[in-house]
Amino acid sequence: MEKGTGTSAGVFLCLHLSNRLQWLRKELAFMIIPRAALKAQVKARMRGHYGVLFGMTVLPLILLAVAVMLGRYLVIYSTTGARIWSLQFFGVTPMQHNSALMSRDFLLAVLTDLISTSIALGVLFWWRHPATNRSITAIVLTGFHRRYVGGFLFLFILLGVLPNLPFFWLTLLPWWSPARLVWLVVVTFVQIVFFPAFYIYYDLANANEPSVLLALKLSWQLMQGFKLQYFILCLSLLGWLVLCLLFLPLFWYLPYVQLIMAAWYEAMRAAKPGLIPAVG
């Protein structure tokens, strides 16, 4: 009798596990985002709109790069007295350059990332409304709109600044240092898990539910089942970056990546309906 009971329990357990595996297989199949189809959709959207995309994603960074270059020259001139238009400027030693600029490099990198993140929100808006009459300047500065700016800046400090603060101290260590490897793993994990946090906060604010904590929570939930796929997507984009550096203009790559990220977020939202507030 006990043997029969044990056999029945074993059969029941096997059937239960089989059903769970079938359910899990269906869930995973449902949550797979086809990268090739997504990239084809993005390339199709780019056709005929490159001028707008260039103005949204590339031109602001070019202007920022020019401003940064002029700022560097002014810093060196103010600290060393070397005039930009004289041969004396080129005689400034690398050590003098570094001492004049090292304290400012991190702030310049942060500013570049801040502008790029604001552009990402504008690109998401354009992806949803390609026929919009909103000006390119307004799209670029989406993150600084009064509706989003508070949470946008808080999220940026939390996810974009604080995790990268140790980098400048870790550069003093060898590349194979365990501390650098641990930092790289932690930062990579944070960037993957909270990749959609800015997009989610943008949608929460549009739904009159602005909350940084809720954006982080929903980001964690949204990325469940997508972390590996997103990591593979990023690796595939690195291949495009190499091709751009060798053959294709980098100006094409920047709008492409921004649109890929917006389209990927939309695909994840579609795979988990009801998690993020509906948007118009």
Question: Is 27 a residue whose pLDDT tops 80?
Answer: no
* Residue 268 or 249, more confident: 268
pLDDT at 234: 92
pLDDT digits (tens, 9 = 90+) for 166-203: 776 766 667 667 877 888 888 899 999 999 999 999 99
Answer yes or no: is 16 within a domain. Answer: no
Answer yes or no: is 89 within a domain. Answer: yes
Answer yes or no: is 12 within a domain. Answer: no
pLDDT at 247: 61
- What's the 3-state SS for the chain? CHHHHHHHHHHHHHHHHHHHHHHHHHHHHHHCCCHHHHHHHHHHHHCCCHHHHHHHHHHHHHHHHHHHHHHHHHHHHHHHCCCCCCHHHHCCCHHHHHHHHHHHHHHHHHHHHHHHHHHHHHHHHHHHCCCCCCCHHHHHCHHHCCCCHHHHHHHHHHHHHHHHCCHHHHCCCCCCCHHHHHHHHHHHHHHHHCCCHHHHHHHHHHCCCCCHHHHHHHHHHHHCCCHHHHHHHHHHHHHHHHHHHHCCCHHHHHHHHHHHHHHHHHHHHHHCCCCCCCCC
Q: What percent of the chain lies above the pLDDT cut of 90?
A: 46
pLDDT digits (tens, 9 = 90+) for 202-249: 999 999 999 999 999 999 999 998 999 999 999 988 877 777 767 666
Kindly report the average pLDDT of the chain as a whole number: 80
Answer yes or no: is 27 within a domain. Answer: no
The number of distinct structural domains making up the chain is 1
- Does residue 259 contact residue 45 with C-beta atoms inside 8 Å? yes
pTM of the model: 0.79
pLDDT digits (tens, 9 = 90+) for 40-85: 999 999 999 999 999 999 899 888 888 877 877 776 666 655 554 4
Task: Give the range of the structural domain holding residue 165, as residue numbers without chain letter.
Answer: 38-271
pLDDT at 95: 40
